[in-house]
Amino acid sequence: MDGKVCVITGGANGIGKALVRAFDKEGASVAFIDKDGDAGKDLLSSLQDQKKHFFFEGDLASESVLVEFAEEIKKRYGKVDVLINNAGFSHKGLLSGCTYEEFNEILRVGVSAPYYLTLLLKEHLNPVASIVNITSTRAFMSQKDTESYSAAKGGITALTHAMAMSLQGLARVNSIAPGWIDTGDDENFSEADRKQHPSERVGVPEDIVRTVLFLCDERSSFINAENITVDGGMSKRMVYHGDEGWKYNK
């Protein structure tokens, strides 16, 4: 990644933080944005070569923030080799009374921002760039009261293959759907937490980092408009009452 420019949204914490550190280690220049200013500044100060990176504090739900962030990227680097649309959060859904404005805020951050940031940077994509959208297994399966997050992740999943068609020759566009990824201390997990996954563990941010780096590698150039699920096999487990000890509790 030496000499390449990587843009990461939601880069101050969790998976985004791990991605910023990984691309720094790989030698890329990293521009990342997050509304958590303290965490973003702390992360920037910990990187190997602070002068080649920059952190932008701002809310991705705001159009003006997206414009300012994109302009700063263009001014500093003049090109983009990798764009990772990672930011997202949840206001829950129907059962908790998620409001119209709260629901649309999720969509602005999770769907509108990836679209608009790509549009703003389109003329500066360095062929052939790699765009990776971080979606979720919740785009395909759900628990109760998750409508806002599920809608946003479903939207960015569909946006992925649409963008891949429009950006042919400019960028490859793929998505990753993480399952349960823990950013804390996995020693707190129960045996059931781990063993319910066919891989017999809960995921960690590095599982997503490795998949992102694989997709951004030029040798992966024939992978395009695709979604890769990284969930330890959990979303493929078929569950029936009484099967393998699974029981339905009303």
Bigger pLDDT: 127 vs 44? 44
- What structural domains and CATH numbers belong to the chain? 5-236 (3.40.50.720)
Crossing angle for the helix pair 14-25 and 205-216, to the nearest 10 degrees? 50
- Range with the poorest average pLDDT among 26-35, 177-186, 197-206: 177-186
Q: Using one digit for the tens of pLDDT, what is the confidence trace for 147-183?
A: 999 999 999 999 999 999 999 999 999 999 999 999 8
Q: Using one digit for the tens of pLDDT, what is the confidence trace for 40-64?
A: 999 999 998 889 999 999 999 999 9
pTM: predicted TM-score of the whole model, two decimal places: 0.95
How many residues can be counted in the chain? 250
CB 86 within 8 A of CB 177: no
pLDDT band for position 9 (cuts 50, 70, 90): very high
CB 174 within 8 A of CB 227: yes
Computed over every residue of the chain, the mean pLDDT equals 95
Q: Which residues are catalytic?
A: 149
Burial readout 28-43 (b: 16 or more C-beta within 10 A, e: otherwise)? bbbbbbbbbeebbeeb
